[in-house]
Every structure is written in C-alpha cells, then in structure tokens.
Amino acid sequence: MTLAPAVTVVFGNLKYDVQLPQVDVTLRLLPGVNSFTAWLPSGVEISAVAGEVGVLELDGGEGAETIITGKVWGFRRRLMGTEVTVTDGGSELSRFRPAATYEKQSAKEIIRALANDANVSVGSLGLDLPLAAYTAHQRRSAAEHIAELATLAGAIAYFDSEGELQVAMPSDRPDLALRYTREILSYDVQELSVSQARQIAVGNGSAGSSDAPDALRQSLERLPSDAPDPGIDAVWKPTPLLRTPKTAVAASQAAENAIAAGASRISAHCFLLPALRPGMVIEVQDLPNDLSSGSWLVTHVTHRLHPDRGGTTHFQGTSTASGGLGGLLGAALSAVGGLL
C-alpha cells in the first residue's frame, strides 16, 4: 500500500491544503536557517503580508507533523502563481548582529540573552560552559555566536517545529531507526582521511573559576597547562575567551569530537519522513554490501512535495562514532573536576 503525502500551510489567517501543487522545505542546524517555500496557483487568495505567522504541516501518510513555525519572509509573484517563503527564528538571529560584552556568565545565559534581544523564543538550553567574559561582536550574527558557543561546549543548536531555539548535547542513542527498502531509497557514505593531530583550544588565563577575581588577568602560560607543543601532532586553536582549565579541556575535547565525526558522512534519499529533523540521531538497518549503518547525527534535511514525484526526503549527517559527543564531553569535565 502506498501512503499518500499531504501538506497544510497557514499564512496569516488563511489555511491552504489542496491549493498547494509544490512545497520545498530546508532544515539545518544553526547558523543555518529553517525555511519552506510554497507555490500557490494564480487566482488563490493571499491576504498575508511579510512578518505574519507561517506554519507548515506535512503528513507522510501516518499523521500530520508540524515542520516549521515562523513568519512570512517574502513573496515572489508570477503570471502562473505566487511563491511564499516562510522562515523561523534562525532568520531573526541571522539578521541580528549584536554588540555586547557579557562578564561572568555561562554560555547558556549568553545564548538566552542573544535570543531574547532578537525576540526569539527559547526552549531547553542543555549545555554547561562557564565563561569569564564573552564579546558578541558585529563581525558575526547572533546565529553564528550561538552556534560557536554551542560548538565550544560540544553541543548543537537548532530550532524545533514550534519555533523555539534548542541547544543540546547529541544523543548517545538513536532517536529513529530507518530500514533500507522500507524508508531508504538511496544511501551514500563517505569515509574521509582526517588529521590525527590533537585539537587543542588554547585559552588565556589560569583562574580556578570563571567568577574568580583574576579570571580576566592575562597569562603567558598555556591553558591547558599540560597541552602538547604545537606541531605535527597537535594543532593549537587560540581561544582567548577560555579562562579556566575546565573550559579549555571541554572545548579541546569538543574540537576533537567534531574532527572524528566528520571522518564519516552520510547522504540519503528516502520516502517522505516528516518526523526527521536536524539534531536527531538515526541508524539505518538491513543495508547490503557491508555499508555502515551508523549511528548518524542528522545535520541537514530537505523535504519536497511535487505533483509528479510525490513526497521525498533527503538528509545528510555525520558519524557519532567518536563514542557519543555528550558522553565524551562529560568524561572530560569529570577528569578536570579535581583541578577546580
């Protein structure tokens, strides 16, 4: 039995379903922006204006799922119809370039402040990275600052289907299992050679805690103090905002995890899977030819509904074979607990 995909969108006060011949959806981790574009035929009433509410629901045949909750970004009007594009809070963060300095606040508090300044809803912020100071300069957007802070902690940042900003450590266990020939139509795994050198986030200071009186005092000593010399076996990444052993070790471990994760990458095409989102961890079962089943951290998802091709989903991801990013980071923090 073939499941019939369906779509429903809301622009302002009007809802559309059967009028929609085509919808394209793109979902990304920050600093990317989640968006969808719907094509409405000529003659269909459109009363919404830019900035009004936009919501997309997709149904792959097993129940409707909300995909994006955001605002109408713009219109493209043609003789045959109109394209309406909706973006979520990632767009607001990308347009906002902050100019602020935060002292003695954690990455969680800084992310919440940046999101509030951009009028973006905040959900769960599951990261722990105390900082003595952080300068949110205008060379980066708020989306880039938030993604950077999450990366330093080994976490990922994204918007959920309700339009709330979420920051979380990647799961140690798959959130979803897919099967070849059931959901998966094509499957491509890249295995790449990556540097084996240790990645060292080198801080500037040696305070015991981020709120210590000397937390902002410059130091000529390396941080972490036991970091190997830079060279063929070690790459130093200057990160002056790291002022304590705890944050320096955590950021170094997160950098090594990111390199390891990027050594294996997946690109797959499947039937429409509305539940699949960036930030999820998946595994793929019943693969032929000894292909790796994962698990994979999903980083990019596109959904397409087309009158001639039905509904499809394409996704990309990186390996979690480094042992669970969240688990490794937790182990790193525990290892330096006795130093603090």
pLDDT > 90 fraction of the chain, expressed in percent and rounded? 49
Are 201 and 255 contacting, i.e. CB atoms less than 8 angstroms apart?
yes
Q: Which of 42-51, 245-254, 320-329 holds the top average pLDDT? A: 42-51
Q: Compute the half-sphere exposure of residue 309: CA atoms within 13 Å on the CB side of its CA.
A: 13
233-260 pLDDT, tens digit per residue, is 888 888 888 888 888 888 888 888 888 8
Max intra-chain CA distance, the chain = 70
State the pTM of this model.
0.87
Domains, the chain, in order of start with CATH, read 6-87 (2.30.300.10), 92-168 (3.55.50.10), 176-192+262-319 (2.30.300.10), 198-261 (no CATH)
Is the confidence at residue 268, as pLDDT, over 70? yes
Strand ranges, E, within the chain: 6-11, 14-16, 22-28, 35-41, 53-59, 64-78, 81-87, 100-106, 122-125, 130-136, 156-159, 165-168, 176-179, 184-191, 198-202, 234-238, 264-271, 281-285, 294-306, 310-319
182-230 pLDDT, tens digit per residue, is 888 888 888 888 778 888 888 777 666 777 676 677 776 777 778 888 8
